[in-house]
Each structure stands twice: as C-alpha cells, then as structure tokens.
Amino acid sequence: MLQKKELPKLSEGFARITCCQSESDVQSAVDAYSGLGPLDTLPSGYFGQKNTSAKVQLGIMRFLKKTDESALKSVPDSNTSQITEEKETSSKGTGSLSENSGKESKEGEQLFVGSVGGDVSLNYSPTLAFPSISTADFQFDIEKASDIIVEKVIEFVNKLGNARLVLVDLSHKSKILSLVRAKASEKNIDSNKFFTFVGDITRLHSGGGLHCNVIANAANWRLKPGGGGVNAAIFSAGGPSLELATKEQAQSLYPGSAVVVTLPSTSPLFSREGVTHVIHVVGPNMNPHRPNCLNYDYSKGCKVLREAYTSLFEGFATILRTQAKSPKGSIENLQAKLPESQEHSDGASRNHFTNSDQKTKREDPHKYERSKRSKAYQDDTEDSNTGKPNLSNKSGGSRTKSWGSWAQALYNTAMHPEKHKDAVLEISDDVVVLNDLYPKAKRHVLVVARCEGLDRLSDVHKEHLPLLRTMHEVGLKWVEKFLHDDSSLVFRLGYHLDPSMRQLHLHVISQDFDSTYLKNKKHWNSFNTAFFRDSMDVVEEVSSDGKAKLKEDDSMLSMELRCHRCRSAHPNIPRLKSHITNCRATFPSTLLQNGRLVHAPSNVSIGP
C-alpha cells in the first residue's frame, strides 16, 4: 500500500485483502503467505480492517520503511508483543523463552495430575514433553482438544512401560492444562506416567528441573523455523544442527503426521537440556489467516488431531523400542541418560559423541512417520516377514526420506490399482498411468512404476533399465494421443530429483504450463531447472553407469524465474505466465537434443 492511495476493494477484482494495523499484523501476513504450499488455500474476503476511513496501513508502511522514526517507535516490537501475548493468553501453548520460566516451573510441580509419588525432578525415566497441538495459533477448540489429549494418553500410556508423557504450557493459568488435569483425574490416569507441567519447553531441565529426553514441536508443514510460538522457540533453542537434522529426515509434513529427528550432540538442546530427539508434528488449522483452514469443520479437525497425537506417541514409542534394543553404553542410551553435568567433560568425549552422532545419522532408525495412515510403508532395511535385510534397495536412497501419509497415494494406487479404477487411465503389469491431481500444464500425466522398493531415482539400478524403458514408451504413447488431439503441444518426459510423492513416477507434461495449479516458484523450477531429469538422459546414464546422476541442490527450487524458451527473468509467477503465453522463441539447444522434447512431426523448429 503506497502513501496517499485508497485502500483496495474486493469489487476491484481481488479475491482476498488483508489489512495490517501493526508490525505484528504484517509479520503474521508475511508468515501466512510465505507458508502456502502446493495444496494450501486461504479463504476469500476482507480481513483486518478496523478503521473503514483509513487510507494508509501503518503496518505496511513500517514494513516498507516509509515512515519516520517517531512513527516506528510508536509501533511495538513484534517479537516482544508476541511473547507477551503468549504469556498472558491462557489458551496458548508454549511460546518463546521466558525470563520467568524457572519460577513458573516451580509452580508447575504442584500441577501434576492426581497425586505425585516422588520427586519428579530426580526421575530419569524416558519422558516426552509435548505442547497442546493446534490450540494456540491454529485456534482449535480447547474443550475438544483436551478430550482428544486425554483419549490418546489413555490409549498409549500403558504401552510405554515406565516412560512418561508430560503436557507443557508456558502459563500456570493455562486453560488447556486445567481441562486436561481435571479430565485425566476423572479417568484415574497414573500420575507417575502422565502429568502437566508449567514452563518453557526448551528449558525444562535447566529452568524447571524436569528431565525430558524427547520434546515435541508443533511444527509448520514446511518444517522450517519461524512463525512464532513453539516452533520458533524450539528451532531457535536447537540451533542450526536441529534444522539440518530435520532437513535430512523430511522436507514437509501433512496435518496429522509426525517425524522423529535425532538431535546431534552439537545442539544446545542436547548439551544443556539432555534432549536426544525432537518429534515434529503438524495439527489441524481452524485459523482463517493460516493455510489449510478447515473452516470449523470439527468432524474432520478432530480426526486429524487424533492422527497427530497418534503419530506423536507412536514416534515416541519407536524411540523407546530403539533404545531398548541398543547395546548398553551405546550412543542412544547415553543420550537418554547422561546428565548435563557429565556431558563433554573433555575433548576426547566430545569427539566421541560427534563421531558417534554421524554414525547415528546414517543409521537412524526413526526414518518414517509413525502415523496410522502410513503403516503400509514397511522399513526398507528389513523384510516384514523374515526379519532379514531387504536387498532390493541397494542405494539406500529411500531410507533417508520420510514419506508423509499423504505422499503414499501414488504407492497405494500403483500397488492396488483395482481400488482406484476411477483415477487410473491405464494398467499393466509394470505401470499405471493417471492424471496428475494438480496438473501444471494443459496435459500432465504420471506413469507410475509398479515395483516394490522403487520410491525415487536414487533407488534405480541397472536391473531396472527395462522398466525405465517401458515407462518411457508408455509416456510416448500418451504423448502421441495428446498430439493427435492438439498438434501444437510440445512435451517433456522426466523425473524429479527429490519427489514429494513416494513411488517412482515419470512426468509427461506439455510445455505450455497453462494451469491454475502452477502457483509459485517451486512449482515452476521443479520442471524447468536441473531438478527435472529428462527420461532419455536417465535411461542412458543407468545403461552406462548403472545409476542416474543425482546432484540434489535445494537452491534449484528457489532460483529466479526464467522463461523455459527465451530464458528471460521475471519477478513473479503472474508476470512469467503472461510472458510465456506470448513467447514464441525457439527452445534452448540443450532441450532440442537427445529427444528431450517431443512434438508433432510438422513442428520441427519448435519456434516462431
């Protein structure tokens, strides 16, 4: 919004308008829009307009640094206001670090469910500390959330042996803690196995004397720092090593899912608090200002929240099982039991932990999300029937990928096409063909392999060469069909370096990119950078080298937007789309070689 310009109106063609009255409003809007993913939506309408006579939005002006210093000083700091709000609002979960966390934690020791049998601060039982999921910024009904928490605790608490579950919030006035305490007491839940605690979830040991080897993070779908609240606090406290370890485990999560991340010994949460694992979990959203809002559909919302807690507690159970199997004195058990005062007592022990941690990363047993919806995804390293190593995946590529439950759709369709007859275009012994659910062009289909153990390109070896050729031939057959209907189309066939959906699949996509589903930079660059590997190149590499050349680089998806024909740069997707609609430049020479582009015979020049 520029100075001396009137506020926009929905009647002028805008689908959604968000007015910002302060810097925190601006930050909230930036977080909301930057967090939008391929499947995310925000409701339409006019939001945040408090003064109908206003001409200029103060928050926007400050954001653009157009106001003078006096105006800037009149607006409270966004981080300070957010921390204050989270301390004072009883319904919010754990927020950023609090100066009074130690004091509040002492009060929290008197807030356990039922009677306390012993000194909790001296108890070294494996412990999961978790915030109330979705009841803060995602505005889920606290009464309903408390019912689900107690329900899921009852389901899991006796399956966890001597381990403990601890619901944590920053304020001793928290309504969610009060409700859960009361309901848990009515159900006679063992207070030694489940209780509530007041304190900062990132300083439970140093600030409140509570030893928790595992903490849960109410994460965003991108598994990135930021956004305020628990997520920002945990990523900040965990340091760069937590972000790196998270990135190695998963790139994103769908609501209702969780992923376990082993903390490197270099993380401050490990060295200061004794936390060995962080479990990221994403819950349902009822906030219209945040992505994927369920619009108060609590039938669906409660289902997703139950799945979220199931995924969380199953993840914790997985950690317990792994530690139980680990030899005495192993890194897993040492991380779970070593007090802060005994950690890294000398340089030798520090090096030992660092080296062992690197080994743990390679052999991390917590590689899949523990969600009911993803139980069909067996551990690639072991045969589910014999318990012996599964040698079908020699590269181990898929072992480092955590597939969300939503990412199982292609796998399920490929393995059981008879259950998805309405979606499948073609079925054979080797492949199934189906339309991309969110096509990025006029014609966009997927040729999906029907072979167990082939999740992505890194799983492909020379023995899979006949399958790759079959997939390419099937893709060409569909190109021929599409060209018969519209000879002006041009196609590419290829694979994504790091696909978001499990099960090897070939994209057959027309180069018009005329689609409402093509919305952001990631969408465009996933098909127009080296992130997209042409099918013919993959076939040649596997034939000669036994595997495809994979140089994964996250920066490819964030590169500037360039036209796939003339390579001109554009500032945003609307500008790019407007350009490519009229661009008739010849395709780059690299695409004109090796059969990378497929077109009708008469369209030889593929240019003006």
Domains and CATH numbers, the chain: 127-321 (3.40.220), 407-599 (3.30.428.10)
Q: How far apart are CA 447 and CA 493, in angstroms?
A: 10
pLDDT at 66: 41
pLDDT bracket for residue 26 (50, 70, 90): confident
pLDDT at 170: 85
Half-sphere exposure of 467 (CA within 13 A, CB side): 22
The answer for residues whose C-beta is within 8 angstroms of residue 266's C-beta and 6 or more apart is 239, 241, 354, 357
Q: Which residue has the tokens 């040729």?
A: 447
pLDDT bracket for residue 137 (50, 70, 90): confident
Considering only CA atoms, which of 209, 372, 360 is closest in space to residue 304?
372
Q: What is the mean pLDDT of the chain?
A: 75
| pLDDT greater at residue 307 or residue 17 | 307
pLDDT bracket for residue 6 (50, 70, 90): low
Q: How far apart are CA 108 and CA 99, in angstroms?
A: 15
The answer, yes or no, to whether residue 102 has pLDDT greater than 90, is: no
Question: Torsion angle of alpha carbons 144, 145, 146, 150, nearest 10°?
Answer: 110
The answer, yes or no, to whether residue 545 has pLDDT greater than 60, is: yes
Q: What's the start-to-end Cα distance of the chain, in Å?
A: 40
Tell me the β-bridge partners of 18. 47
User: What percent of the chain has a predicted confidence (pLDDT) above 70?
Assistant: 68
Q: How far apart are CA 265 and CA 335, in angstroms?
A: 8
The answer for residues whose C-beta is within 8 angstroms of residue 452's C-beta and 6 or more apart is 392, 415
Q: Please give the structure tokens belonging to residue 589.
A: 């020479």
The answer, yes or no, to whether residue 104 has pLDDT greater than 70, is: no
Asked if 18 contacts 418 with a C-beta cutoff of 8 angstroms, the reply is no
pLDDT at 378: 35
pLDDT bracket for residue 428 (50, 70, 90): very high
User: What percent of the chain has a predicted confidence (pLDDT) above 90?
Assistant: 45
Considering only CA atoms, which of 303, 308, 316 is closest in space to residue 165?
316
Span 577-590, pLDDT tens digits:
999 999 999 999 88
Q: Is the dihedral of CA 144, 145, 150, 154 positive or negative?
A: positive
Asked if 521 contacts 36 with a C-beta cutoff of 8 angstroms, the reply is no
The answer, yes or no, to whether residue 283 has pLDDT greater than 90, is: yes
pLDDT at 349: 32
Half-sphere exposure of 105 (CA within 13 A, CB side): 23
Mean pLDDT throughout 476-492?
A: 95
| pLDDT greater at residue 473 or residue 373 | 473
Q: How far apart are CA 539 and CA 392, in angstroms?
A: 19
pLDDT at 101: 36
Q: How far apart are CA 551 and CA 535, in angstroms?
A: 16
pLDDT bracket for residue 521 (50, 70, 90): very high
Mean pLDDT throughout 591-607?
A: 76
Mean pLDDT throughout 379-386?
A: 36
Q: How far apart are CA 49 and CA 60, in angstroms?
A: 13
pLDDT bracket for residue 205 (50, 70, 90): confident
Q: How far apart are CA 349 and CA 343, in angstroms?
A: 8
The answer, yes or no, to whether residue 403 has pLDDT greater than 90, is: no
pLDDT at 108: 38
| pLDDT greater at residue 366 or residue 563 | 563
Q: How far apart are CA 62 and CA 58, in angstroms?
A: 6
Lowest mean pLDDT among 113-127, 449-463, 529-543, 560-574: 113-127
Lowest mean pLDDT among 91-95, 267-271, 428-432: 91-95
pLDDT at 569: 92
Considering only CA atoms, which of 485, 483, 556 is closest in space to residue 525?
556
pLDDT at 288: 87
pLDDT at 3: 44
pLDDT bracket for residue 602 (50, 70, 90): low
Question: 394-400, long-range: CB within 8 Å, 24+ apart, which pairs?
Answer: 394/461, 395/458, 395/459, 395/461, 395/547, 397/455, 397/456, 397/457, 397/458, 397/459, 398/453, 398/455, 398/456, 398/458, 398/459, 398/502, 399/367, 400/248, 400/249, 400/367
Phi-psi region of 275 (alpha: psi -120 to 50; beta: other; left: phi over 0): beta
Q: How far apart are CA 28 and CA 78, in angstroms?
A: 10
Asked if 207 contacts 102 with a C-beta cutoff of 8 angstroms, the reply is yes
The answer for residues whose C-beta is within 8 angstroms of residue 185's C-beta and 6 or more apart is 113, 114
Asked if 135 contacts 98 with a C-beta cutoff of 8 angstroms, the reply is no
Mean pLDDT throughout 283-296?
A: 86
Marked catalytic residue, from 505, 523, 564, 599: 505
Lowest mean pLDDT among 39-48, 196-205, 457-466: 39-48
pLDDT at 208: 77
pLDDT at 67: 39
472 carries an active-site annotation: no
Q: How far apart are CA 491 and CA 558, in angstroms?
A: 24
pLDDT at 358: 37
Three-point CA angle 320, 322, 328, nearest 5°: 100
Asked if 471 contacts 494 with a C-beta cutoff of 8 angstroms, the reply is no
Mean pLDDT throughout 236-243?
A: 92
pLDDT at 13: 66
| pLDDT greater at residue 206 or residue 232 | 232
pLDDT bracket for residue 207 (50, 70, 90): confident
Stated as kind and residue range, the H or E segment containing 441 is: none
pLDDT at 388: 37
pLDDT at 292: 79
Considering only CA atoms, which of 520, 584, 526 is closest in space to residue 36?
520
Lowest mean pLDDT among 25-29, 99-103, 453-457, 493-497: 99-103
Asked if 369 contacts 259 with a C-beta cutoff of 8 angstroms, the reply is yes
Asked if 221 contacts 282 with a C-beta cutoff of 8 angstroms, the reply is yes
Q: Which residue has the tokens 């660092």?
A: 354
pLDDT at 51: 56
Q: Please give the structure tokens belonging to residue 456.
A: 């992505």
